[in-house]
Amino acid sequence: MARKIVITSGKGGVGKTTVAVCLAAQLAKKGQRVVVCDADFGLNSVDFTAGVEELSSYDVIDVIEGRCRAKQALIRHPKCPNLYILTSRHAAPERYVSPQSVKLVLDGLAPQFDFIFIDSPAGIDDGFHRAVATADEAIIVTTPHLPAVRDADRVVTMLKSYRLEKLQLVVNMVRGDLLVLGECLSPSDISELLRIPLLGVLPEEYNLSCDVFNTHKSFKLIANRLLTEKGKIFDPSRKYSGLFGGVRRALKKRL
């Protein structure tokens, strides 16, 4: 039976969709059967991020409105047979989609999969509640920037009322050079501030997710921790410590 995990955040643009797709791809590479459901009905970027935008014919709304069965709407990723995408192409803001209807679709798929990631819209509006109502667990994504952390705090407060089995934190776009200099909040500080355990850390990298199957090693560590509940957390500051690290810091400053 699939673990249904909503990927959520307070602020937009912090990397929810990237985390949902790249983490799903890592787990699929390890042999897990994974679905990523696009529940961000406003932006619908899962298909693009996964590189399957040209393959979609039916989407989750088609399933809810009875035009096809859930299995027909799943896009099997051409590069990874264990990874399936359930898109939401039909962004129609005026159309009401109830949380129960999305939950029914995902509950129907759950027995045949190991993980279902639900990519949520940012913020705490209807779309957030709809996405969270389908899940058993949540991953909150934030960057180390104060506005993102403050908004994440509001989301964590809302999430606590859902009594999910697990809330875990991913801190994305962490700059190792700033961490070494103490110029940004550290992932462990953020975890303490938000009072939720740290699942993983991702560095700010220009081409972090160019190819979802050759992602940065930090995604592999997160996938491991999700499966085993233990294992290393990526340390973006390592590259910037010591003599060579100092040179790298100096070069980064010049960019």
- Site for ligand ADP, rule CB under 6 A: 9, 12-18, 45, 172-173, 202, 204-205, 208-209
Q: What sign does the CA torsion over 186, 155, 210, 5 have?
A: positive
The residue among 122 and 167 lying less far from ligand ADP, judged by its C-beta, is 122
Output the smallest distance, CB 91 to Mg ion, in A: 13
How far is the C-alpha of 176 from the C-alpha of 236, rounded, in Å?
A: 4
Phi and psi of 244, rounded to 5°? -65, -35
**CA nearest neighbour of 236 among 194, 168, 184:** 184
Residue 70 vs 174, nearer CB to ligand ADP = 174
Closest CB 58 distance from ligand ADP, rounded Å = 23
Q: Which is nearer to ligand ADP, 45 or 56 (CB)?
A: 45
Distance (Å, whole) CA 64 – CA 161: 26
Residue 141 CA to chain centroid, in angstroms? 7
Question: Which residue, 39 or 180, is less far from Mg ion as judged by CB?
Answer: 39
What is the total count of residues that contact Mg ion (CB under 5 A)? 2
- Binds 123, which of Mg ion, ligand ADP, none (CB < 5 to 8 A, cut-off by type)? none
Q: Which of 3, 14, 15, 17 binds Mg ion (CB under 5 A)?
A: 17
Least distance to Mg ion, CB of residue 136, Å: 21
Of ligand ADP, Mg ion, none, which one sits near residue 14, judging by CB under 5 to 8 A according to partner kind?
A: ligand ADP
Q: Which does 18 bind (CB under 5 to 8 A by kind): Mg ion, ligand ADP, none?
A: ligand ADP
Give the one entry of ligand ADP, Mg ion, none that residue 204 binds, where binding means its C-beta sits below a cut-off of 5 to 8 angstroms depending on kind: ligand ADP
Instruction: For residue 119, give the nearest of 9, 25, 207, 34 by alpha carbon.
Output: 9
Residue 82 within binding range of Mg ion, rule CB under 5 A: no
Q: Is 253 exposed, middle or buried (0-12, 13-18, 19+ CB in 10 A)?
A: exposed
For residue 203, the minimal CB distance to ligand ADP (Å) is 6
The residue assigned the tokens 């409105």 is 65
Tell me the C-alpha distance between 116 and 2, whole Å: 6
Selection from ligand ADP, Mg ion, none that 80 binds (CB < 5 to 8 A by kind) is none
Q: What letter represents residue 88's amino acid?
A: S
Q: Distance of CA 70 to CAs 47, 61, 164, Å?
A: 16, 10, 25
* Contacted by 126, from ligand ADP, Mg ion, none: CB < 5 to 8 Å by type: none
- Choice between 13 and 147, CB closer to Mg ion: 13
End-to-end CA distance of the chain: 47
Binding site for Mg ion (CB under 5 A): 16-17
